[in-house]
Structure formats: structure tokens, C-alpha cells
Copies of this chain bind each other. A is one copy, B any other.
Amino acid sequence: MTDAPADPLVIFTPSGRRGRVPVGTPVLQAARKLGVDLDSVCGGRGICSRCQIAPSFGEFSKHGVVSRPEALSEWNTVEQRYKDKRGLAEGRRLGCQATIQGDVVIDVPPESQVHRQIVRKRAEAREITLDPALRLHFVEVAEPDMHLPSGDLERLCTALEEQWGVSGATAGLPLLHRLQKALREGGWKVTAAVHTPAEGAPPRILEVWPGFRERPVWGAAIDLGSTTIACHLANLQTGEVGASGGVMNPQIRFGEDLMSRVSYSMMNPGGAEEMTAAVRRALAELLAGTAKEAGAEPADILETVIVCNPVMHHLVLGIDPVELGWAPFALATSDAVSCSAAELSLDIHPDAQVYLLPCIAGHVGADAAAVALSESPHTSDDLVLIVDVGTNAEIQLGDRNRVLACSSPTGPAFEGAQISSGQRAADGAVERVRIDPATKAPRFRVIGQEAWSDEAGFDASRITGICGSGIIEAIAEMRLAGIIDEDGVIGSPEQTGSGRCVADGRTWAWVLHDGTAEGGPLVSVTQNDVRAIQLAKAALTAGAQLLMDRMEVETLDRVVLAGAFGAHISPLHALVLGMIPDCAVDKVTSAGNAAGTGARIALLNRGARREIEQVVRRIEKIETAIEPRFQEHFVGAMAIPHKTAPYPELGRVATLPAVSYGGAGGGDAGGGRRRRRRG
């Protein structure tokens, strides 16, 4: 054996991967050899700067090396030119240019990792690993050779294979129309946008740009709701959200709820096509507006994920939703759908790929699948109930062993509709309510003002009505203060000791705020309002109980409230009202717009798509419409919090007065009512 010095030892952090490489090996090459996740779009040409690394110098006893400044090569002209022209942060080097000269510790900062983690704000939520279906690759393509004739596309594919390991790429006709020009404009150097929907799936070249593309490419995550449409535009290379936007769903003019839209389609020849055109136009406008806000062109959007309920799913795809209007609620397709943006007239890049998550059942759509992706009941160690509160509630119950799902027709009361003083959650709406149990005096807060109504600076003239979370808190507080009884009956001033109880026909109403003297609104909670909320919340709880029956469990470990509205519900008040089965109040959390989050996950991580496609197949679907016990649960759940269920966990944190006011519309409230149609 000779005494030749060993090759330098390289240690990458934070991965801890280590190994010896020959002197002069570029850091990028060393990283690839050692399986370290270091990004590159330009393939080591010192153009893209995505391979930035930070050498750490000093003695690292933990790693057993001394890392000296001379362990990396001097700056070469490519690296220096990049720094002069574009700038490089202190301590950063280009991994493709700096070469290894001695033992060294090298840190790969998060933004230089291909599969970087996207940290979610909530502690209980899974992190997202960036792994988009669409990747950019800068390639040098061989020029045509008469002696070895082959097409420009075939030479581009060879370059992608040789320079990036992308094999078997295909392209559609539109790319062929542009390819030859782009290759020649770029001097046989182009940036290719390659879409690979899954590991091992055939890659598709969506676009080629001459030379190295500096501008980001974008992906859109769209939550297409019956009422509103929300869009987040994410940079597909960094995962960062560049802009967000929302518009009303223009289909509202065909019907407020989904079922009335299905009816519109049934009653009006061409009605489905009209609604399809309307929602696609709205999507196109929203995408264009959001792109503008992000400083991008619509054509820079190369990927889109859409989540929505089954009716919106069919309408946006141009499928007549008529079969969703009656039993057995047959979907045209339940699996995930992939198509091109051009097929949906989205006016973004025509070959942008659109992915719709799978539907769980005829009433449990791709939006519920997205919630499942975001909240992962299928990986939960404890038993979790997830309630996505909307006009139609989707309910999921499960843990890593088994997940059940159903939908329940709550109606629009939670969104402030069918409530006497109700309004959408917008400036001026009461959103928080407290009632002093002793004095029965209310205090409240409205959207757009920081101050509570009993605090200095509160402007009462800006009160306009009450929104969904406000009415829930109001009724829950009324129950806590003894203004309504278990059956939801509002007592008289004498019974309740509150002068705010006023006669309203044969029943009583409770006045939260009377601004009529100043020309403002009278914000009160009528007996009918209480009834509407009781019907809505009974549907929710009955659905959840149905799933608990099927799961053969009597208690829940935790509850997640999802949906834009769910995010604003106070867990204590949800329990007092009995919107959900009993649960420890500190185990009731809000996930915000979990469907939208699920869309963003599917946009940024293609593996998540395959995951949810598998998961959805394993979710057991319960059709509430045909479950005889649903009606029984519904009747019990009309009471506040519940007629028969004991709610011991709620009992630990709140005491509900044992009052009973009888009277009209009391005990029989739930029994004789007809079940509302879905929507």
C-alpha cells in the first residue's frame, strides 16, 4: 500500500451525508454522487444559481474534520461574473463552480434543496415536501446533422435524457409548432418545462423557451366553491405563494345552492352548458387577475389543481350534473381527472395540466378529498372527526386503521342566510358575542373593528348584521345565560330575567343590538333563527354520530373544524350548541380552509396526488339519505347541545342552566320537519 493522501472528505449538512471525492470535484457533482438534495435548473452552467451552498469553516469535532477556507477552490470567472452581475449573499458559493480541494463541511440551505420542506403554520399539520409534477430543465440540444438525420424533438429528448435523466419524454402538436423556432432562437440552448405526473410516468414537454428562463413558472391551487372561488398562485420552483385572489361564483345567478343549479340544468335545455361557460369564464378571469398580481403572464401558469364538490366538479368539466340530482347520485367519474387548460378554456398556458382530485362519493367531492389530504385522518394515531362546514357539510371520521365519510345537508344558515339579521361574513357583521350570565347583558365584536361593543372607540354606526360565527356564538351564549332552553325555546322577559326578550308574533326574540333610533339595524335573534341553526347543527351532529355508530365508538379523541367558516367558530361555543359530538374543548381545533390547503399540497407534491387517490378508495362512504338512524340522530341533535347524549367533556368547562320554557315550536321542533333537499 502506498501513502498517497486520501481523497477529501465532504460532509453535507443538514442531511449529514458524507463521503470522499477526488480533489477538484464540483460541489454539485459531489452532492449528486452522495445523494444530497441540491437543486439545479441550468445543469451546472453557473446560470441559475439554484445550487447555492454555504461552506462552514472551523473544527467540527462532531464530524471529526477541520474545514478550512482553502477547502473550496478560488472563485472562477463564471462564479465571479455571476456574483458581480446578480449578487450572491455573504458566505454563499455556486455549487456547480466551487470545487472541493480538502476536507469540508457544506451546508445546503433550504432554498437550494429540490425537495425542500414547506412548513405549515399549524403545529399539528404535516409538512409539505416540494415535489411538483412540473420541472424546468435547461438543456443544450445537438444541432441537426445530415449524416445522422433525426427530428429536433428527438434530439431535445435525447438531451433531456442525457443531461437530466428524463427518459421517454413526449410532446403534443402545439409544442411541435413552436419547437424549431425556439431551438434556433436560443442557439440550441433552451429551457424545457417537463411535466411528469408521477415518478416513472411518461414525461410530457409542455413548453420550451429559448435560452435560460429567468422568470418563474407558476401553479394555481383553486378551491372552487358553490359560492366563492379562491385561487393561490405558487411558484413551482420554490413553493412560495406569489398571489392569492377570490371571486364570487357567477353560477349563483342560476341558483344559490347546488341543488337549485342541478334543477336549472334539468329544467333548461342548454342550462348546464351555460353554467359551465360561466364558471370557466370566472376561473379564467381569476387566474388572469391573480397572475397579474404576482407579476406573471397567464401563460406562465403551467399547472392547476382544482378542488370542488361533485356538482361543481361536473359543471367545470362540462358534464351535465343531472345524475347528481337524484338517487343513486351517480358521478360520471369518481377518479382523479387530468386534462389540459385548453379543454377547460382557462386561458392560461393552453397545455397547462389541470388536475382534479378524486371524488369520494356523489355528495362527497374532491373538496372532501382535499380536506383528507390536508388533515390526513388516514395517518392519525388518534380518532379524529373532521367537519368541513359549508352549505353541505362533509364529515370524516377515522384514524390510521379506518376512515369513514359522509355528507350532511346543513343548508345555508351557517353562512348567515335564512337568519333574520343574517349576512355574509363582511365588514359590519357581528362575529363574536358574549352574554353575562348574571346581568344577561351582551357584548360583541364586529368584523372591521378591533374594539368590543363595550370598549372605548367602538363605532356602533358600523354594525350591519350578524354572520354565521356570530349567530352560533349568540345562540350558544343565550343557552349558557339561560335565555333559551335545551329545546331552543326563547323565554319571556319574566322567565329569563332579560328585558332584551321581546315579543315576536307568538314567540320571543332576543335583541342583541337596537340601532333603529340612529337609523341603524335591529340585530336580534328570533325563534325562527334559533330553529334554522338547530336544523343545520342537528344535520352536522347526526352525520357525525352516524359515522361513530358505524365505527362503533362513543367518544372522539379530537375534532377538526374546517372550511372558511369553520375557521371562525369558537370550539367552546360549537360544543355548547352541540354542532359536534362531545369532545374535550382543547381537542377541538380549526384547520382553516383545509380544502384549499389540500389543493396546494396536491399542486406542490405529485406524490400527494397518488396518495389521496389511494386513500379515497379506502375511505368508506356512508350515504346519510338512506341510513334509517340518521333521522333518529337528527331528532336528538335538535336539542342544545343534545337531547340524549350526555356531553361530559362539555360539562367540565361549562354549566348549562336547567331551564325549560315550553311554548310554541318547542319540544316538537325537530320531529315533524321534512328533511331539506341537499345543496
**Complex contacts, A320 vs chain B, CB 8 Å:** 177, 180
For residue A514, CB closer than 8 A to chain B, the reply is: no
Interface string of A164-183 (1 = CB under 8 A from B): 00000001110011011000
Q: Contacts A176-B317, A339-B173 known; A146 to B329 CB distance under 8 Å?
A: yes
Copies per complex? 2
For residue A149, CB closer than 8 A to chain B, the reply is: yes
Beta-carbon nearest neighbor of A144 in chain B: B330
Q: Contacts A319-B176, A343-B173 known; A331 to B146 CB distance under 8 Å?
A: no
Q: Contacts A146-B626, A323-B180 known; A151 to B317 CB distance under 8 Å?
A: no
User: Is there an interface contact between B179 and A332, defined as CB atoms closer than 8 Å?
Assistant: yes
For residue A94, CB closer than 8 A to chain B, the reply is: no
**Complex contacts, A179 vs chain B, CB 8 Å:** 332
User: Is there an interface contact between A176 and B327, defined as CB atoms closer than 8 Å?
Assistant: no
For residue A614, CB closer than 8 A to chain B, the reply is: no
CA distance A319 to B171 in the complex (A): 14
For residue A145, CB closer than 8 A to chain B, the reply is: yes
Interface string of A114-154 (1 = CB under 8 A from B): 00000000000000000000000000000111111111111
User: Is there an interface contact between A180 and B146, defined as CB atoms closer than 8 Å?
Assistant: no
User: Is there an interface contact between B331 and A149, defined as CB atoms closer than 8 Å?
Assistant: yes
Interface string of A356-398 (1 = CB under 8 A from B): 0001111000000000000000000000000000000000000
For residue A318, CB closer than 8 A to chain B, the reply is: yes
User: Is there an interface contact between A334 and B151, defined as CB atoms closer than 8 Å?
Assistant: yes
**Complex contacts, A151 vs chain B, CB 8 Å:** 330-335, 359
Beta-carbon nearest neighbor of A181 in chain B: B320
CA distance A149 to B622 in the complex (A): 9
Total residues of chain A contacting the partner, CB 8 A: 45
User: Is there an interface contact between A176 and B332, defined as CB atoms closer than 8 Å?
Assistant: yes
Give the one of A330, A361, A621, A625 with max B CB within 10 A: A330
CA distance A329 to B146 in the complex (A): 7
For residue A623, CB closer than 8 A to chain B, the reply is: yes
User: Is there an interface contact between A328 and B145, defined as CB atoms closer than 8 Å?
Assistant: yes
Q: How far is the CB of A9 from chain B (nearest CB, A)?
A: 46
Q: How far is the CB of A214 from chain B (nearest CB, A)?
A: 26
Interface string of A524-548 (1 = CB under 8 A from B): 0000000000000000000000000
**Complex contacts, A362 vs chain B, CB 8 Å:** 144, 146, 149
Interface residues of A (CB under 8 A from B): 143-154, 171-173, 176-177, 179-180, 317-320, 322-323, 327-335, 337, 339, 343, 359-362, 621, 623, 625-626
Further contacts, 9 of them, CB under 8 A, given A147-B621, A151-B335, A153-B334: A144-B328, A146-B362, A146-B623, A149-B361, A149-B362, A151-B334, A152-B333, A173-B318, A180-B330
Q: Can you sample 20 A-B contacts with CB below 8 Å?
A: A143-B328, A144-B329, A146-B329, A146-B623, A147-B621, A147-B626, A148-B621, A149-B328, A149-B331, A151-B335, A152-B332, A152-B333, A153-B332, A153-B334, A176-B317, A176-B319, A176-B332, A180-B322, A180-B330, A180-B332
A-B interface, 6 closest residue pairs, ranked by CB to CB distance from nearest: A151-B334, A149-B361, A144-B330, A151-B333, A153-B333, A151-B331
